[in-house]
Structure 1
Amino acid sequence: MKLLLVSTILLLLYEGDNWQPNPAPASRHKFIVAAHRGDHLIYPENTLAAYQEAIKNEADYVEIDLRTTKDAELISMHDASVNRMTNGKGLVKDLTLNELEQLEVKSKDTTNKVTYRIPTFKQILQLCKHKINIYLDFKAADPAVAYQMIKQYGMEKHVLVYINSAEQFTGWRKAAPKMPLMLSLPDSVENVAGMESFINKYQVDILDGSYKQYDADMVKFAESKHIPVWPDIQSAGEGPADWDKALDKGLSGLQTDHPAALVKYLKGKGLR
């Protein structure tokens, strides 16, 4: 599960009673489906094929993990190293884009003879434009550089950024004050009072965390502040029983490992 050391974030911006959260990217659906690392149970995670499959299966967002190469290029890779997902070795930050592009991304399907490559952020933006929003898990990059590229592809209104550190929070608020930023709800927050204190202190635009952290009252309170709650539900046994619990809490979005199945389930509930 993604963790955020929110206790280190300094409240530098947006003080005062007039603060309003930045709106999330528009979607044509009532219930938001974010495909975790793309549709990665069908194709290798964080590949263009996994993102294309999520688009085909009507997800609202593809979640990508952004990292910076040795020569300052932006690519998508969840881990800091390429060891788990490719036939290479080493840290992304120590390898050039050319070196990374030569690597083959491993597929769990041993019968699949297709060669998959690590995608660049440019390729992802080009693929997603006019098709799907991007949930940008900001692992290791410069906000100003990333935002300039987002603008270059006309995707400013189609991206949200998941924040992993205090420096990222303040960096994004400086580089792109209108960009919607997502923070995880700390495990210590267990009720409406705790949520209100957290929101007032950090002035988050969208809330993440585990769907198990939330109850119906907390979801209603966030909605009253115009803050979407789109937590993680992905797990080894994820399925309709979990989705039923999420709907019972009034949640309006989830990050999932099963976008196609979740979309089908939601259509059956009249929510797509």
Structure 2
Amino acid sequence: MKKMLFSTILLNVIISSTASVYGQSIELLKKLDQKSLHIAAHRGAHQEQPENSIAAIEEAIRQGVSVVEVDVRATKDGVLVLMHDKALNRTTTGEGEVSKHTFTEIQQLRLRNKANGEASEHVVPTLTEALRVAKGKIIVDLDFKEDRKEFIKKTYDLVEKEGMEDEVLFFLYDYKDMPRIYKLNPRVTLFPRARSMKDLNAILQMKITSIIHLDESFTDTKKLNTMRQQGIYFWMNSLGEYDDEAGQEGKDIYRSFLEKYPFVRLIQTDYPNLWQEVLNGF
């Protein structure tokens, strides 16, 4: 009993020590440490519900995945909403750019069940609504798509207002923006993309985050596995080839993904339900 208690205390010390160097939220890191592999639902569980809808977030929660990825844009009057595209056409019954319409105008629209498909009963949700649905149930990966960068602060303000600092990842396409955005709220965990080993080393040298997006160009399995063992969390997408094949032929293709990228801890997918079946089989 004493030995088990000592091990638990030691683990908490290690997590706390790591978090002081990498990663802003100790609580978020603790959640990730509960499992060796996590699934992220791309734009929510959008095979079953309209992408970036409240229903898609709720479905991701129901499926038991760890993370839901949503896209953030701002309306003409500055309301933060969930929307991937710059234009409304593909995913809603509207037309034109999101930033050229007021929130009231966008609320009159309906989300499409599928891309360019039939209208659903669902409306475009606000970021506030999305955060409230997710709170305490799932980590939210915020993919900030808005061109007007001043809305980054407003996004951070909403996260803080909803008390979600320990439940949010903020994705960055350019890791060089990390120091500036980090200052807005050091408790929010930044999640940058690395496009090369040089980028990866530069990110780690900043000592701001331990959660990093990689792509299929990363092949140094030995080095990346060592980094994983040191507490670095690598995120990769199965979007595209792997997801397409899984959608057509079944989930077994994902086993080859895991064999090829054994250093991965978080996987973003269009088929979270299939990935959950794979993980449940281990």
1:119 alignment counterpart:
125
Q: 1:254 aligns with which of 264, 267, 273?
A: 267
Q: Given the superposition, is the C-alpha separation of residues 172 and 195 from structure 1 closer, same or farther in structure 2, using an over 3 Å criterion?
A: closer
Q: Which residue of 2 aligns with 1:264?
A: 277
The question of 1:129 aligning with 2:129 is answered: no
| Residue in structure 2 matched with residue 101 of structure 1 by the alignment | 107
Whether 1:72 aligns to 2:58 is no
Shift of 1:74: 0.6
Taking the aligned partners of 2:266 and 2:161, their CA distance within structure 1 comes to 28
SS in 2 for 1:252: strand
1:176 is aligned, of 182, 185, 189, to 185
Q: Deviations over 1:189-218 (max 9, x none)?
A: 3xxx77435532685431113245344224
Could you tell me how far apart the structure 1 residues matched to 2:39 and 2:126 are? Answer: 23
Structure 1 equivalent of residue 8 of structure 2: none
Q: In terms of Rg, which structure is larger?
A: 2
Measure the CA separation in 2 of the matches of 1:78 and 1:168: 21
Q: Which residue of 1 aligns with 2:154?
A: 145
Q: What is residue 53 of structure 2 aligned with on the other side?
A: 47
CA distance in 2, matches of 1:44, 1:129: 20
- Which runs of 5 or more structure 2 residues have no equivalent in the other structure? 1-19
Query: Which structure dedicates a bigger proportion of its chain to helix?
Result: 2
Partner of 2:205: 200
Q: Identify unmatched segments of 5+ residues in structure 1.
A: 1-18
Note the C-alpha offset of 1:112: 7.4
Distance 2:271 2:169 in 1: 21
Q: Shift of residue 244 of structure 1? A: 3.2
* 1:170 shift after superposition: 4.1
Separation in structure 2 between the aligned mates of residue 228 and residue 37 of structure 1, nearest angstrom: 21
Equivalent-residue separation in structure 2 for 1:203 and 1:131 (angstroms): 25
- Report the TM-score, using the length of structure 2 for normalisation: 0.78
Higher relative contact order (CA 8 A, sep 6+): 1
TM-score (norm 1): 0.81
Equivalent residue letter for 1:72: G
The residue matched to 1:45 in structure 2 has which SS? coil
Distance in 2 (alpha carbons) for counterparts of 1:163 and 1:255: 15
Q: How does 1:7-26 map to 2 (within 5 A)?
A: 20-22=21-23, 25=28, 26=31
C-alpha distance in structure 2 between counterparts of 1:101 and 1:218, whole Å? 49
Q: Matched residues in 2 for 1:215 and 1:256: separation? A: 23
Structure 2 vs 1, CA of residues 244 and 167 (structure 1 numbering), >3 Å: closer, same or farther? closer
Q: How many residues are treated as equivalent by the alignment?
A: 248
Cα distance in 2 between the residues matched to 1:133 and 1:75: 18
